[in-house]
Amino acid sequence: MNLPNKLTMLRIVLIPIMMGFLLIQFRGEYGYYAQFFALGIFIIAAITDGLDGYIARRQGEITKFGKLIDPLADKLLISAALIAFVDMGRISAWPVLLIIGREFAVMGLRVLAAAEGTVISASKLGKAKTVLQITAIISVMIHPQIIRFPFQIHQILIWLAVGITIYSGYDYFRRGQKVLLDEQQG
Burial classification of residue 134, based on how many CB atoms lie within 10 Å of its CB (0-12 exposed, 13-18 middle, 19 or more buried): buried
Are 137 and 154 in contact by the 8 Å Cβ rule? The answer is no
Dump pLDDT digits (tens) for 137-181: 999 988 765 566 666 788 889 999 999 999 999 999 998 887 777
Dump pLDDT digits (tens) for 111-141: 888 888 887 777 899 889 999 999 999 999 8
Q: Give the number of domains in the chain.
A: 1
Q: Average pLDDT, stretch 79-88?
A: 94
In the prediction, which pLDDT does 58 show? 92
Dump pLDDT digits (tens) for 62-75: 888 888 888 899 99
What ranges make up the beta strands (E) of 18-118? none
pLDDT band at 35 (very low <50, low <70, confident <90, very high): confident
Percent of all residues in the chain with a pLDDT value above 70, rounded to a whole number: 90
How many other C-beta atoms lie within 10 A of the C-beta of residue 165? 27
In the prediction, which pLDDT does 132 show? 95
In the prediction, which pLDDT does 146 show? 58
Comparing CA positions, the residue from 168, 94, 105 lying closest to residue 131 is 168
Burial classification of residue 184, based on how many CB atoms lie within 10 Å of its CB (0-12 exposed, 13-18 middle, 19 or more buried): exposed
In the prediction, which pLDDT does 179 show? 75
Of 16-20, 36-40, 149-153, where does mean pLDDT reach its minimum? 149-153
Q: Where residue 86 sits, what CATH number does that domain have?
A: 1.20.120.1760
Q: Return mean pLDDT, the chain.
A: 88
pTM assigned to the model: 0.88
In the prediction, which pLDDT does 168 show? 95
pLDDT band at 27 (very low <50, low <70, confident <90, very high): low
Taking 90 as the threshold, does the pLDDT of residue 55 lie above it? yes
Taking 90 as the threshold, does the pLDDT of residue 13 lie above it? yes
Taking 90 as the threshold, does the pLDDT of residue 12 lie above it? yes
Q: Which domain holds residue 131?
A: 3-185
**Which one-letter amino acid corresponds to residue 131?**
V
